[in-house]
Chain A
Amino acid sequence: MDTIDKIAVYCCENSGLLAAGPVTDRKILDSIEIMKLPCSGKTEMGLILKTLEKGYAGVMIVGCPKDNCQFIRGSHRASKRVDSAKEMLAAIGLDPGRVRMEFLSSVDSHKFVKAVTEMWESLKIATS
């Protein structure tokens, strides 16, 4: 299996993608690969596992705040699927911390940076 030293960040185009837009910190941008989702509710277990199979260090799903999802329950649905993926990773013997769900609004760029930084640091600690 190839190793891609990045976190795959699947961003809801209504929130997460807009939050990520203004980020200019090179260190952050080099540690992630952003992919667009029409809604974080499009997340399924298969997407998460296939991404990890490709060799990404981790997967982050960024969706709308739970009480303010563009599509009502999309991010709520994504969160449940991320929980299932964590259980599957634990069953496989992999670190459940390799998958993470974040609820961000379109103006939460600073929270986006914080979430990526935290996840990267926890993944590096886990592998050290």
Chain B
Amino acid sequence: MITAVQKPFDEIYEMIQGYKKILVLGCGTCVTVCMAGGEKEVGVLASAIRLANGKNGIEMDIAEDTIERQCDREFFDDVKDKIEEADAVLSLACGVGVQFSSEVFEGKRILPGLNTKFYGTTLEMGVWSERCAGCGDCVLETFGGICPVARCSKSLLNGPCGGSQDGKCEVDPENIDCAWQLIYDRMKSLDLLDRLEINEPVKDWSTGRDGGPGKIIREDMTL
């Protein structure tokens, strides 16, 4: 899923100043799972804003709602009226949702309440970890299901750097495992160690972010 964290409160509060009616709009998919922008988080943030407004003597109408997701047009139908009534929408979706909301509701001020982080997984409740960099040319078959692009701090494709010590990455030995240690251990368990001796050629980075904004068209699926 896409992971995100909420922006610092003072940054959010600064963003909404001057508006009389705000809709705090959550997203029920990825950011609910990573506990950044779901219904619960909408409630907490709306409460915090009301308390801050109470303290500062600011009159502001704060509405709250959450839709299934903000990256598909169909889900906006239920909140169309609320969005139209608001002076601005504080969206707790990822960057995709904030932008798509802006496209669907042209002319409406849509503000981002989150900082989008990475494609990742839930390791345990309250802990999420990056797994995919969206490079556009998946090499997981070659590396036993562990991605060197996303999980190696240097995105090396042909083995570890000299900074790999005791299975840890020199960039942050306390918190980052050396991806190449993980790849080695995994390939060993799969009895595929000999495959790591095959040189991985220079990657074509244009298939991902480095090739500019992406677009996918399935002609067989267009109406």
Are A and B subunits of one complex? yes
Q: Assuming A1-B54, A44-B40, A46-B40, is B47 touching A91 (CB within 8 A)?
A: no
Q: Is the CB of B51 within 8 A of A49?
A: yes
Closest to A44 in B: B40
Interfacial chain B residues near A92, Cβ < 8 Å: 9, 48, 51-52, 55
Q: Assuming A49-B48, A50-B47, is B10 touching A91 (CB within 8 A)?
A: yes
Interface string of A85-117 (1 = CB under 8 A from B): 000110111100000000000000000000000
- Please give the distance in Å from B53's CB to the nearest CB on chain A: 9
**What's the count of A-B pairs with C-beta under 8 Å?**
39
Which residues between 153 and 184 of chain B lie within 8 Å of chain A, taking CB atoms? none
Closest to B49 in A: A92
| A118 touches B (CB below 8 Å) | no
The tally of residues in B whose CB lies under 8 Å from a CB in A reads 14
Interfacial chain A residues near B40, Cβ < 8 Å: 44, 46
Interface size class of A (residues with CB under 8 A): 10 to 19
Q: Assuming A91-B8, A91-B9, is B43 touching A50 (CB within 8 A)?
A: yes
Interface string of A46-58 (1 = CB under 8 A from B): 1001101100000
| A45 touches B (CB below 8 Å) | yes
Tell me what chain B mostly uses at the interface: helix, strand, loop, or mixed. Answer: helix
Interfacial chain B residues near A1, Cβ < 8 Å: 50, 54
| B222 touches A (CB below 8 Å) | no
Interfacial chain A residues near B10, Cβ < 8 Å: 91
A38 to B49, alpha carbons, bound, how many Å? Answer: 29
A84 to B108, alpha carbons, bound, how many Å? Answer: 33
Q: Is the CB of A53 within 8 A of B51?
A: yes
| B56 touches A (CB below 8 Å) | yes
Q: Is the CB of A46 within 8 A of B55?
A: no
Closest to B47 in A: A49
Interface string of B38-76 (1 = CB under 8 A from A): 001001100110111011100000000000000000000
Interfacial chain B residues near A50, Cβ < 8 Å: 43, 47
- Please give the distance in Å from B149's CB to the nearest CB on chain A: 34
Q: Measuring CB to CB, which residues of chain B are less than 8 angstroms from any residue of chain A?
A: 8-10, 40, 43-44, 47-48, 50-52, 54-56
Q: Measuring CB to CB, which residues of chain A are less than 8 angstroms from any residue of chain B?
A: 1, 44-46, 49-50, 52-53, 88-89, 91-94
**Leading 4 A-B pairs by shortest Cβ distance:** A49-B47, A91-B9, A92-B52, A1-B54
A/B interface sample: 6 pairs, CB < 8 A = A46-B40, A49-B48, A53-B47, A53-B54, A91-B48, A94-B55
